[in-house]
Structure 1
Amino acid sequence: MTTTTSPSDWISVTGLEKGFETDSYALDNSADLSGKKIELHDASGNVRRLEIDQQTLRVDDGEAVKLRLTSLRQGIYLLDWLDESTRPTASYTVVLDTLTDSYTQIIGTLPTFETIKTGLYERALGGRALTDVNVEISHGTVNKSFSDGACPHALTDELIGVRNLYRYSPTEVYEHTYLNPNFYTWQCLKGVEQGLCDTDLCHYYKIADDLYLFVWREKIVPTLGIVMIDEQNHRSDGKIFGVGDTEDAPLANFPMASYCQRLSRTEYPDDL
């Protein structure tokens, strides 16, 4: 397969969402936690109270917001919502682990259009990160006071060197190559981004055996991706969060799930 790319091949996150919508393999919302009230205790002693319905969520008795709640592995859930009361709008994703009464939280924010206009060359020479998509990743406990070591979720190198194939729908297929603790490479093999590829910042966490949280931050079209990868059941599930087509357009925050398979793993010699 031979493809060529030009600057016009890049599309907005809204355009990507439209491509992923058709016959998507996205999971349905789980009803397991519907009606539950859950407390999240962080390392600073703060407590946040979640009141969960299958489709909505209240945080600390606030207004109900739209909730996506899925589960790849029994007892472990992915909760995702937006807080549009903040500026910029904050994306909240929580890996809720009822097996260990712990959680990992990712808070993401996107850059303004004014910030996006800064060229990559200027960023690089100025010592700035090439992406202004920001994340805060933290851990805590569920329904009990925080204590050091109570959350087993931890940074991992178990995916480094792996090449995986992800089928998000009959029309959208991607490959990931996990290069090192800070970067991975993606390429679109089939779909609306076919022929495009890039290398972006990322973060890897092990949640349980063969179950990983993978977070990435794209620089060309500002995008935050958050997925759970279950290598036992060959499935992934998560979301993409990104800016709209224009400065005034709504933000995109859409589900993505795949059937995945390992293609290969690179082993490096010990004497490097």
Structure 2
Amino acid sequence: MTTTPSHTDWISVAGLEKGFATGSYALDNSADLTGKQVELHAADGSVRRIEFDQDQLAIDGGEAVKVRITSLRERVYLLDWLDERTRPATSYTVVLDTLTDSYTQVIGTLPTFDVIKTGLYERALGGRPLTDVKVDISHGAVNKPYSDGACPHAKTDELIGVRNLYRYSPTEVYEHTYLNENFYTWHCLKGVEQGLCDTDACHYYKIADELYLFIWREKIVPTLGIVMIDEQNHRSDGKIFGVGDTEDAPLANFPMASYCQRLADTEYPDDL
């Protein structure tokens, strides 16, 4: 019988990265887009041209940056990179859907240490969000002008009430319970955070049948998580982005992927 400790210390995102690195189930980079270029047409009419070269991309002919490109479903790609010219760095994640010629973009930023030091009690009484991890989520069209309905990716409630198990490596196992449209609970069953759990803000988008984009924003150790969940093939893939050990330490931005399975579905009585 496995027992969990009565007390577990919270660790930094850098510490979490070390735990996830050993035997990680993270997907290899996809080479499908190498040598290609796409145009991203936003709803506001702006257009960006992205050129791919192995594990790098360049936007509008600018300086190339390192990018991670993975694919859980054929012709649907998850792109992830950092813009380190901003302080703190800005996270860019794009679901590039070449099946429907559309995309969803998530831009994420982390709070400074001065903001992080504000206590949760003060935030709650002041009417502030408990997390200052920010995301901007938008949709657009690929290689064609944007029009209403051009992107079929949409908010969904299909995961609400689901309890899933995620095995990220032989040593790191978590469960998620998707509570409602704004919150979910994570619980570390095995690994460097064993015994820890919390309920955090989240966002759900349906990309295709049984394929979801899940985004969460943690409050205790400021963290942005972005993953694709493929319930058909029982896999997930994405990343975690968070602050370093100290104010001067580099930010963490590391890949994570899992073999996943559904544990339970919650059904509420009709007369609630």
For normalisation by structure 2, the TM-score amounts to: 0.98
Partner of 2:45: 45
3-state SS in 1 of match to 2:225: strand
Q: Which moved more, 1:79-88 or 1:22-31?
A: 79-88
3-state SS in 2 of match to 1:237: strand
Output the amino acid matched with 1:223: T
The 1-side partners of 2:114 and 2:48 are apart by 33
Partner of 2:115: 115
Aligned length: 271
CA contact (8 A) 1:5 1:196 kept: no
Output the amino acid matched with 1:189: L
| Pair 1:135-2:166 in alignment | no
RMSD: 0.8
Partner of 2:254: 254
CA contact (8 A) 1:206 1:212 kept: yes
| Pair 1:267-2:267 in alignment | yes
| Pair 1:216-2:251 in alignment | no
3-state SS in 2 of match to 1:9: coil
Partner of 1:182: 182
Partner of 2:148: 148
The 1-side partners of 2:183 and 2:54 are apart by 35
- Deviation string, structure 1 residues 23-65 (Cα, Å, up to 9, x no partner): 0000000000101111100010000111112211111111111
| Pair 1:65-2:61 in alignment | no
The 2-side partners of 1:249 and 1:66 are apart by 20
The 2-side partners of 1:59 and 1:252 are apart by 23
| Pair 1:243-2:243 in alignment | yes
The 1-side partners of 2:67 and 2:59 are apart by 11
The 2-side partners of 1:43 and 1:85 are apart by 25
The 1-side partners of 2:193 and 2:141 are apart by 39
CA contact (8 A) 1:202 1:214 kept: yes
Structure 1: gaps of 5 or more residues: none
3-state SS in 1 of match to 2:38: strand
For normalisation by structure 1, the TM-score amounts to: 0.98
The 2-side partners of 1:123 and 1:230 are apart by 35
The 2-side partners of 1:60 and 1:150 are apart by 22
3-state SS in 1 of match to 2:70: strand
- Deviation string, structure 1 residues 156-208 (Cα, Å, up to 9, x no partner): 00000000000000000000000000000000000000000000000000000
The 2-side partners of 1:42 and 1:266 are apart by 37
The 1-side partners of 2:242 and 2:132 are apart by 12
The 2-side partners of 1:24 and 1:108 are apart by 24
The 1-side partners of 2:141 and 2:95 are apart by 11
Partner of 1:165: 165
Partner of 1:96: 96
The 1-side partners of 2:31 and 2:163 are apart by 33
Structure 2: gaps of 5 or more residues: none
Shift of 1:87: 2.6
The 2-side partners of 1:22 and 1:105 are apart by 30
Output the amino acid matched with 2:66: K
Output the amino acid matched with 2:41: H
Partner of 1:3: 4
CA contact (8 A) 1:54 1:69 kept: no
Shift of 1:4: 3.9
Partner of 1:126: 126
3-state SS in 2 of match to 1:14: helix
Question: Hey, which bits of structure 1, 4+ residues long, moved more than 3 A?
Answer: none
Shift of 1:5: 4.7
3-state SS in 1 of match to 2:15: helix
| Pair 1:32-2:1 in alignment | no
Q: Which moved more, 1:154-163 or 1:80-89?
A: 80-89
Q: Which moved more, 1:60-69 or 1:198-207?
A: 60-69
- Deviation string, structure 1 residues 74-110 (Cα, Å, up to 9, x no partner): 0100000000112331100000000000000000000
3-state SS in 1 of match to 2:115: helix
The 1-side partners of 2:35 and 2:107 are apart by 24
The 2-side partners of 1:246 and 1:59 are apart by 31
